A = this chain, B = another copy of it.
Amino acid sequence: MSSSTTDSGPTRRPTRQRAALAEVMAATSEFLSAQDLHAKLQSRGDSVGLATVYRNLQAMASDGDVDVLRTDDGEAVYRSCGTAEHHHHLVCRECGRTVEVDGPAVEKWAAEVARANGFTDVTHTIEIFGTCTSH
């Protein structure tokens, strides 16, 4: 019996490509696009296919290892945050500097609004943008 019923997700083998990607992401604090990360890998000497970068970012995101958000023009950007806990972001639209924030009150508010309207399976998107002190 090689089947494991407790397995939470698809098998995921370690590869040099994903390791390099994870490394680059760990070394960065801003939200970057798949293309940005691909370029960063290139300049570091790690050759990784663009499709592979996309695939791994998706995998990491669905595993909760990275956070994703959409820029104003719809581009997906990724960031490996300091915590796996649910949280949100305060992002500088000039330099990309990002602060991880949380707000129990907001979480409650969102849940309550949904409940009051009979909605279930609730999720939410909350991001704050601004210009940080260095501008």
Does A70 count as interface, using CB distance less than 8 angstroms?
yes
This chain's copy number in the assembly: 2
Task: Please report the total number of A residues contacting B with Cβ < 8 Å.
Answer: 33
Could you say which residues of chain B place their CB within 8 Å of the CB of A121?
93, 130-131
Given A90-B114, A105-B109, A109-B105, also A130-B125 (CB < 8 A): no
A interface, by DSSP: helix, strand, loop or mixed?
strand
Chain B residue, CB-CB nearest to A92: B119
Q: Across the interface, do B128 and A122 meet the contact criterion of CB distance under 8 Å?
A: yes
Could you say which residues of chain B place their CB within 8 Å of the CB of A19?
none
Give, as a whole number of angstroms, the nearest-CB distance from A56 to chain B.
Answer: 18
Chain A positions 112 through 132: 1 when the CB is less than 8 Å from some CB of chain B, otherwise 0: 011001111111111111111
Residues of chain A touching chain B, judged by Cβ–Cβ distance below 8 Å, are: 70, 74-76, 90, 92-93, 99, 101, 103, 105-106, 109-110, 113-114, 117-133
The 4 closest A-B pairs by CB, nearest first: A119-B130, A74-B74, A118-B133, A122-B130
